[in-house]
């Protein structure tokens, strides 16, 4: 029986070595394909982070745009309510307008003095803007400029400077 095993092993010896070399080569190819796949996935994941950052920036931009639009609609709604309430108070407004006739001079300095004076008396921006036919932002700007001019220019009392 020993002879028989030796005979079979001598004829089969080259075959298992070939199978082992072939299996090793196949596993090397599969390993290289796996490494290449991992490299591609890694490159794609770096692209995903860039896309994720861009999507976050877009989402923040859309949120800011939404907030701005909502604020704009809210301001328009408030302005429309103000105009509706002003039209319902038309009679009282006309009586106030008749009591204090608006100065129709177009002198910018006179308009500036009227705006600053009305603000000192405690009138609101909307009331001053309606009386002077200006935008509320322009009234706010005139008040800001008026404060800066008062800080720069000394107060005058008659011909004396204090």
pLDDT tens digits, residue range 52-81?
999 999 999 999 999 888 888 888 988 888
Residue among 147, 128, 148, 150 at smallest CA distance from 138: 128
49 domain residue, yes or no: no
User: Taking a C-beta distance cutoff of 8 angstroms, is the pair 127, 98 a contact?
Assistant: no
Domain assignment of residue 71, yes or no: no
Q: Give pTM, 2 decimals.
A: 0.34
Domain of residue 122, residue span? 106-156
- How many helices (DSSP H) and strands (DSSP E) are in the chain? 6, 2
Q: Could you give the number of structural domains in the chain?
A: 1
State how far the alpha carbon of 31 is from the alpha carbons of 18, 21, 128, in Å.
20, 15, 81
Cα(39)–Cα(101) distance, integer angstroms: 82
Count of residues for the chain? 162
In a domain, 148, yes or no: yes
Separation between Cα atoms, residue 103 and residue 101, nearest integer Å: 6
Residue 110 is assigned to a structural domain of this protein: yes
pLDDT at 130: 86
CA gap 150, 144 in Å, rounded: 10
Number of alpha carbons in the 13 Å side-chain half-sphere of residue 93: 12
pLDDT of residue 91: 47
97 occurs within a structural domain: no
Question: What pLDDT is recorded for position 84?
Answer: 83
At 124 the pLDDT is: 86
In a domain, 14, yes or no: no
**112: CB partners within 8 A, 6+ apart:** 142, 145, 146
Residue 115 lies in a domain: yes
Q: Kindly give the parts of the chain with pLDDT less than 50.
A: 91, 93-95, 97-99, 101, 162
d(CA 130, CA 110): 16
**Residue 60 covered by a domain:** no
pLDDT the model gives residue 40: 94
* pLDDT attached to residue 42: 92
């Amino acid at each position: 029986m020993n002879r028989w095993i030796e005979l079979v092993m001598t004829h089969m010896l080259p075959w298992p070595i070939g199978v082992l070399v072939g299996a090793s080569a196949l596993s090397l190819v599969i390993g290289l394909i796996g490494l290449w796949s991992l490299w591609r996935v890694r490159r794609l994941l770096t692209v995903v982070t860039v896309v994720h950052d861009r999507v976050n920036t877009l989402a923040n931009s859309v949120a800011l745009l939404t907030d701005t639009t909502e604020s704009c609609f809210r301001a328009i709604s408030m302005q429309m309510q103000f105009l509706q309430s002003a039209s319902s108070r038309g009679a009282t407004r006309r009586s106030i307008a008749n009591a204090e006739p608006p100065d129709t001079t177009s002198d910018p300095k006179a308009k500036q003095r009227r705006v600053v004076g009305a603000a000192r008396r405690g009138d609101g921006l909307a009331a001053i803007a309606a009386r002077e036919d200006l935008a509320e932002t322009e009234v706010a700007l005139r008040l800001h400029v008026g404060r800066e001019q008062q800080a720069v220019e000394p107060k005058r009392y008659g011909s004396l400077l204090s």
